[in-house]
Amino acid sequence: MMQWRYTFLGCISAVVALQLGWAQVESESAVYQPSPDLARITVPHVPGELVVGLERNDLALPIEAMEMVGTIVSSNPAINAFVVRLAPGISMHSAGEFLRALPGVRYVEPNYLAFALATPNDPNYSQQYGLARIQANLAWDIWQPQRVVHIAIIDTGIDSNHPDLTNKMRRHSNGAVYGYNTLNNTTNALDDNGHGTHCAGIAAAEINNGIGIAGVAAWNPNVANSRTFVQLMPVKVLSASGSGSLDAVARGITWAADNGAHILSMSLGAGSGAQQLQDAVNYAWNRGCLVVAAAGNSGSSAPMYPAFYTNCIAVAATDSSDTLASFSQFGSWVDIAAPGVNVLSTYPNNQYRSLSGTSMACPHVAGAAAVVWSHNPNLTNAQLRSVLETNVDPYQPYAGRTIAPNAGRLNVYRALQAAGGGGPTQPSLSSLSLNPSSVVGGNSSTGTVTLTAPAPTGGFVVNLSSSNTNVATVPSSVTVPAGATSATFTVSTRAVSSTTNVTITASAGGVSRQATLTVNPASSSVTLQSLTISPTSVMGGRSATGTVTLSGPAPAGGVVVQLVSSNPSRASVPSSVTVPAGATSATFTIRTTSVFGNVTGVTITATYNGVSRSAVLTVWF
* Residues with catalytic function: 155, 195, 359
- The contacts found for 121-126 with CB under 8 angstroms, 24 or more apart, are 121/341, 121/342, 121/354, 121/355, 121/356, 122/342, 122/354, 123/353, 123/354, 124/354, 125/342, 125/344, 125/354, 126/344, 126/354
Q: Does an H or E element contain 199, and which?
A: helix 195-204
Strands 576-579 and 559-565: antiparallel
Strands 611-620 and 537-539: parallel
- Please give the full DSSP string across 363-431, using - where no structure is assigned: HHHHHHHHHHHHH-TT--HHHHHHHHHHSEE--B-BTTB--STT--EE-HHHHHHHH---S-PPP-EEE
Of the candidates 389, 387, 365, the one whose C-alpha atom is nearest the C-alpha of residue 376 is 387
Q: Give the span between the Cα atoms of 244 and 253, in whole angstroms.
A: 13
- The three-class DSSP label of residue 454 is coil
Determine whether 439 is exposed, middle or buried from the number of CB atoms within 10 Å of its CB (0-12, 13-18, 19+).
Answer: buried
Of the candidates 236, 190, 215, 57, the one whose C-alpha atom is nearest the C-alpha of residue 137 is 215
**Cα-based distances in Å from 81 to 62, 106, 134, 539, 621:** 11, 10, 39, 12, 13
How many CB atoms sit inside 10 A of residue 111's CB?
24
Residues 315 and 292: beta-carbon distance below 8 Å: yes
Q: Does an H or E element contain 284, and which?
A: helix 275-286
Instruction: Report the Cα 320 to chain-centroid distance in Å.
Output: 34
- The three-class DSSP label of residue 112 is strand
Residues 6+ apart with CB under 8 A from 178: 169, 170, 171, 172, 233, 259, 260
